Amino acid sequence: MSGGASDLDQLAINTIRTLSMDAVEKADSGHPGTPMALAPVAYCLWQRFLRFDPNDPLWPGRDRFVLSAGHASMLLYSLLHLAGVKQVDGDGGVTDQLAVTLDEIKNFRQLESRTPGHPEFGLTTGVETTTGPLGQGVSVSVGMAIAGRWLAERFNRKGFDIYDYDVYALASDGDMMEGISSEAASLAGHLKLPNLCWVYDNNHISIDGSTDLAFSESVGDRFRAYGWQVIHVEDANDVAALHSAFAAFRDHSDGPTMIIVDSHIAYGAPTKQDTAEAHGSPLGEEDIRGAKKFYGWPEDKKFWVPDDVREAFASGIAARGGVLRDKWMETFAAYKEKYPELAGEIEMMQRRELPSGWDEGIPTFDPDEKGVATRAAGGKVLTAIAQKVPWLIGGAADLTPSTKTYLEFDGAGGDFGPEDHGARNLRFGVREHSMGAILSGLAHCGLRPYGATFLIFSDYMRPPIRLAALMELPVIYVFTHDSIGLGEDGPTHQPVEQLAALRAIPNLVVIRPCDANETAEAWRVVMQLQNRPAALALSRQKLPTLDRSRYAAADGLRRGAYVLAGPEEPEVVIIASGSEVDPALRAYEELAEEGVKVRVVSMPSRELFEEQDKTYQDSVLPPECQARVIVEAAVGLGWHRYVGAAGAAVVQDTFGASAPAKDTMRHFGFTPENIVAHARKQLSLNR
The rounded distance, in Å, linking the Cα atoms of 254 and 272 is: 42
Is 62 marked as a binding-site residue? Answer: no
The answer to whether 268 is annotated as binding is no
On whether 395 is known to bind a ligand per the annotation, the reply is: no
174 appears as a binding residue in the annotation:
yes
Determine whether the annotation assigns residue 606 to a binding site: no
442 in Cβ contact with 449 (< 8 Å): yes
Q: How far apart are CA 416 and CA 449, in angstroms?
A: 13
DSSP-derived pairing of the beta strands 572-576 and 628-631: parallel
455 annotated to a ligand binding site: no
Please state, in angstroms and rounded to a whole number, the distance separating the CA atoms of residues 618 and 637. Answer: 22
489 is annotated as contributing to ligand binding: yes
- Bridge partners (DSSP) of residue 160 are 157
Please name which of 169, 354, 239, 203 lies closest in space to residue 4, comparing C-alpha atoms: 239
Check whether 107 is labelled as a binding-site residue: no
Confirm whether residue 38 is marked as ligand binding.
no
Residue 299 CA to residue 291 CA, distance in Å, equals: 9
Would you name the residues annotated as active-site residues?
Answer: 432
Question: Binding site annotation covers 442?
Answer: no
Residue whose C-alpha is closest to residue 35's, from 11, 17, 22: 17
Instruction: Tell me: is residue 71 an annotated ligand-binding position.
Output: yes
At 99, the amino acid letter reads A
Beta-strand relationship, 86-88 and 94-98:
antiparallel
Residue 89 assigned as binding residue: no
Would you say 667 is a known binding-site residue?
no
Is residue 454 within 8 A of residue 398, CB to CB? The reply is no
Alpha carbon separation from 446 to 135, 168, 426, 466 (Å, rounded): 22, 18, 16, 19
Q: Which of 61, 70, 68, 81 is nearest to 126 (CA)?
A: 81
Measured distance CA(577)–CA(633) in Å, rounded: 9
Beta-strand relationship, 425-427 and 86-88: unpaired
Residues with Cβ within 8 Å of residue 627, at least 6 apart in sequence: 571, 572, 573, 679, 682, 683, 685, 686
Q: Are strands 368-373 and 542-545 parallel, antiparallel or unpaired?
A: antiparallel
List, as residue ranges, the binding site: 31, 71, 132-134, 173-174, 203, 205, 279, 375, 402, 457, 481, 489, 493, 540
List, as residue ranges, the binding site for substrate: 31, 279, 375, 402, 481, 489, 493, 540
List, as residue ranges, the binding site for thiamine diphosphate: 71, 132-134, 174, 203, 279, 457
List, as residue ranges, the binding site for Mg(2+): 173, 203, 205
